[in-house]
A and B are shown apart, each in its own frame.
Chain A
Amino acid sequence: AQTVTQSQPEMSVQEAETVTLSCTYDTSESDYYLFWYKQPPSRQMILVIRQEAYKQQNATENRFSVNFQKAAKSFSLKISDSQLGDAAMYFCAYRSGGGGADGLTFGKGTHLIIQP
């Protein structure tokens, strides 16, 4: 079974600064997808960014980018120019590319605090 580990329960960053959230995962599969989801206090999970394992190029979405290290099974999220609206829980998630019966496997999350 796949596991996802987020080792930082909480991170704090000054507004406009850059912060990196860590995520490692364990899998024996070669075809998979990785995701970062944001969960604000409203509870609604929002997809931030996704990465396909067979793509070497790191995904970027505006101020959000990832550092995907496949051999190390690491998938960190970098948030540049942090804004107050970025404050939320961030979850790293894994999904098998085999189109099987599983949903997403999530880490326990990192609570991101933005200091004004």
Chain B
Amino acid sequence: GAGVSQSPSNKVTEKGKDVELRCDPISGHTALYWYRQRLGQGLEFLIYFQGNSAPDKSGLPSDRFSAERTGESVSTLTIQRTQQEDSAVYLCASSIHMADPGGTQYFGPGTRLTVL
């Protein structure tokens, strides 16, 4: 596709359930980023991938969060045992390469997660 896509667009779940969020980056982009945006807040960086490697997972909010990436394509962000505090919009972005810190990050439309 022409841009970054994310699915689902919206997800409503019950507290304690697991959810999986998907991101398809722009073809050819080796770097992929996940951010969280709570209501009325700026974006909070969670994790990045260069290829399928995520060297630093310290930005993930808790051990209930995990992320994977298949090669240089799809990434999934999994939240286990969801809590109401996990309610937010989860945004994914991709860029050509992580080694270019000034490079444009292209964002997807996000997944709005609501935990009841």
Contact = CB atoms under 8 A, between A and B. Distances in A.
Interface size class of A (residues with CB under 8 A): 20 to 34
Interface in A75-92: 91
A6 B40 CA distance: 13
Nearest to B102: A33
A33 B112 CA distance: 29
A42 B109 contact: yes
Contacts, number: 68
Given A103-B48, A106-B42, A44 B98 contact: no
A99 B45 contact: no
Nearest to B40: A108
B116 interface: no
Nearest to B48: A103
Interface residues of B, number: 28
B101 interface: yes
B88 to A, nearest CB: 12
Given A50-B102, A103-B33, A44 B45 contact: no
Contacts of B108: 44
13 contacts: A6-B42, A42-B109, A45-B107, A46-B107, A98-B101, A99-B100, A103-B35, A103-B45, A103-B48, A103-B93, A104-B35, A105-B45, A106-B44
Interface of A: 4, 6, 32-33, 37, 42-47, 50, 52, 91, 93, 95-109
Interface of B: 33, 35, 40-46, 48, 55-56, 59, 89, 91, 93, 98-102, 104-105, 107-110, 112
